[in-house]
Amino acid sequence: MTEPEIQNHIATLQRWLEAAWRRLGDPALTAFDKRELRNQMREADASLRRCLALSVELKSSRKATGTADVRAFAKPDLRFLA
């Protein structure tokens, strides 16, 4: 997987988990539905953790090989005018 694919997957999983937490509070859900939703949330959480670890691994390997991130931000030189 490439870095943009991983970031897209992470964002998708985060949105899904956010919606699942909201849905978990729905009083119309049966106990079985809630249990199934929590099981799916555990699987999504595990997948999210794997993607985050992969993202960190890619970033650290990129730094080790010397190809720094092009979008790295430097501290801006600020001057305050009075």
pLDDT digits (tens, 9 = 90+) for 21-36: 999 999 999 999 999 9
pLDDT digits (tens, 9 = 90+) for 14-69: 999 999 999 999 999 999 999 999 999 999 999 999 999 999 998 888 777 765 55
Q: Dihedral (C-alpha) 17, 22, 24, 28: value to the nearest 10 degrees?
A: -140
